Structure 1
Amino acid sequence: MRFSKIGAENERNVCRVFNIWENTTVSKTSILKYDCPWSDRSYEGQNFILEYELSWLTVLYKKFIFKVPSFDNFNHLTKIKSLEIFNYVDVTDSDYLRLHIQTAPPRYNVTHYLVEVIRERNDTITRLTVQVLDAKEATNGELIYVYSTWNEFGSIYFTVSPINNICKENECLKSTTPKYLIGRKKSSLVIGMVGASVIIFALFYGLIFWNKKERLLELAPVRIMFVYNPSSNTHCEVVRNLARVLQGAFCITIFMDSVDANHQDPTFWCNHSFTSASHIIYFASPEVSSSAVQGNFKSICNTHDVALKLIKKELGCSHPTKQIVVVTFPYSINATPSELSHLRKFSLMKDFDEFSRYIKPPTPFVPTTLLIWSAQHLEMYMDLINSIYRAEKEFERLNSYSGNHAPEITITVNSMENFPITDDDDTSEDEERLLTIQPHYNFLVSNLELSGGGNNKTEDQPTVTTTNGFKNNIQDLEM
């Protein structure tokens, strides 16, 4: 605790230190009192500062300013009109000055206290505000009035005068507090303008850096590797048509055919494409038994197994660098390997819009759907739909073929010249005749039309059309 005289803090000050033993229990309601006898009349009317600091678990600091009252105006014989009210100001926080008023003894019957806030600046005295405090609101014989100095600067002080039935307003002695100097503060408007400028500046540069980052991401080319099992020609056609649609709409790079590579090593091509790709799309490819496959569907460079191993290795990494998804078609719904079952899936054409947004997220002005449905890409889109339809029909046929169903074959003869018909009455009989070319093929003759004459066996040979869509010459069916 320290007392010091205002204006002579380094010359006249008194310090006191109070130590409390650590094992001592102190009640929260305890009050530390220190009697300081101001017996020397030279102290009267002087302004002093009281500072104290409490150090325990935390540090508490307080600073007060007060004026030592005159003995003649502060003893038990003083009349009400000349009574000086003792008060002090808490200036610990300069933004809020707290005036503490010690109420007069009950014998004076003071009902209210008149408080005036005065500002002195540039030799000009201004009364800022006037407040009347009710004496009944005092706590432990003390009234507190808080004044905010946020927009003020200059010397601020208070005057306090009692009010009762004898002393009306401004009729009795006004007790004055020491002046407290408050420096000029920047107005809230200036602070707001400066703060807004700084924030706008920071946002502007943040937006620039963000745009640079986004532009780098946009400039980075999208490279997609298609991984599929070339189980049939129609399935390969579906994948190629999808690649045409995506390349035409989004101008992206797609790796899908090692035959087009500059080198002849499929494994090297697969590893290089996988490393260069940013997205890996695995197409669920249906398995078809070799006995049911018509034609040669085996790819020259089948990299499906190599790519699948690379995908599994990538998924096993703690920090994968590729975006890997699975795409299914209506004819290959259940053809996804179990190792990839947890990946995100798109079902074409049901999820085509969502799949397009995944490949290229839409911009605020050009949505992905418009890129796909533009007139110049509509033809490629329809080719994709038709190829999916053909593949679906083919796999339905192959599945039916694998079930050992004997196809019905209708024979249409384009010419009557070389067909052995002797009697017109026997025509209906011949139309219903069952021809057996092989023991397990039954041919139903539904219509007989002979083509023009001639000795060319290739042209005169009757055409055989099965109900499943096969077309061959009869001589091709003969063993």
Structure 2
Amino acid sequence: MCILRTVIFFLIFTLYQVNSEDICDNRIYLMPLNTIRVKNYSPKECLQLTFDGNEKLNAPIGLLDLHLTNQQAHNVLNITFSDVKWSKAFLKLSKLGHIQSTFCKSYTIENNELIEGIKASDECFSLANGNLSVPYEIEFRAQLNTDILYRKIIFTSPLPDDLDNSLALSKRAIFYSIDVSSNHELTLKLQPLPAIYNIQYYKVEVFKNKAGFDVLLDVRLLQPGVNTFQYITYNEEGYYYFKVSAINEECPEDSCKKTVSPKIYIRRKYPPLVIGIVGASFMIPFILFIFHMWTRRTQTQDEHDKAKDRLFIVYNQTPEKHYTIVKTLERTLKIIGNLQIVTKANEASHIIYICGTHMFEPDPSTHKLLVTESSKSISNVEIIVVSFPYSTKEIPSYLGKCLKFDLMDDFGKLIQFLNCTVEFEEIPIFKDLSAKVTAAQIQTEPKKITLNMPVIIITEQSDGSDTEAKEMDVLL
């Protein structure tokens, strides 16, 4: 009888485990009307699905959010799809380095007549088994006609006991995920703690492992309600990671538990060309290397100086000091970056929009090209926003997601992004540019240039006798 009871208990427990981890309802419901049909794939079938994607596949056809809950001593991941405009999507959840733990789902909208504001949730992701310290990775690819949305997200599932809301804040873990879809930008999204903790701030620290040492890159305090933080990597190679902790009256700064993210490797966007040869003899690559070096040595000077990228600069020609600085920057990039400056936007591989003293719109043809290319999932041109210390922070809305550089602090990062690695600090043209920017900064008010600005002259008349012009102490 005892044995029978044990067998029955084991079968019930096994059935619960299978049901909670592998078997889910084939449908999840959208709010308010439409239904999504869900298909589950086995790990073997999952490996045959293609999830190729890059940062250019960012069509605005949906959003993806993660929420982790502790249910019956194990963690359950809830994935929310909001602002759904796609017709079909694929999702892959896997543990990094554990192929056997990989599984996939597809989501198909059964009613193709979508309406605005559609939202859906899938709570069928149990994280009960295995080593919870191993990071998870989600790849999501959605499509509507020719528009494609691709997202890659990593996260670590804390121990279930560390998510217990009865814990003191000093011991309570914080769940967050990191969107690593872009090589230039890491987006952290944290799951806010319950209101009972009375959180004042969330502290986010960004680190980079450099030459074996952990270097603190940035620190931010996020108020409750601000659950997203974006860190720009500027395509600098290395391993990045985050630490997140909470602050309240009982648990001051750096006193609470710090939740550490997985390390994220950022590689150069345009890595140097590497020729790999598989063969039995090491002499083949050695001979090819010697031939390659000899060929480079015998190149003509014209071939050596051939521009790597075609650059078009968008800027306002007033005031005069700003115009002079822009033209100096143009010469500097041409000389130091070995770039070809073109006069037509449609000929460029890179377009730089330079912020002046006020927001401006370029000529109609350039404006149309910027709007079109910045909204594409896969663009033929890189669009960059550059600002100076005196520049306005206002830019056209369609450039909001473009990569931004603040000069002169980010000059090295800018030319690195333009595929140039050179020691530029002692080059005369760079010194000239730096001096002009510094001079403009000294003689300006914060964020606004005042050199060569017109003075308003107001002429007042009193009883028809006082006709002398008076100068008001006002700058336009």
What band does the TM-score fall into relative to the shorter chain? 0.3 to 0.5
Q: Whose strand proportion is higher, 1 or 2? A: 2
Normalised by the length of structure 1, the TM-score is 0.37
Max Rg structure = 1
Q: Whose helix proportion is higher, 1 or 2? A: 1
Normalised by the length of structure 2, the TM-score is 0.38
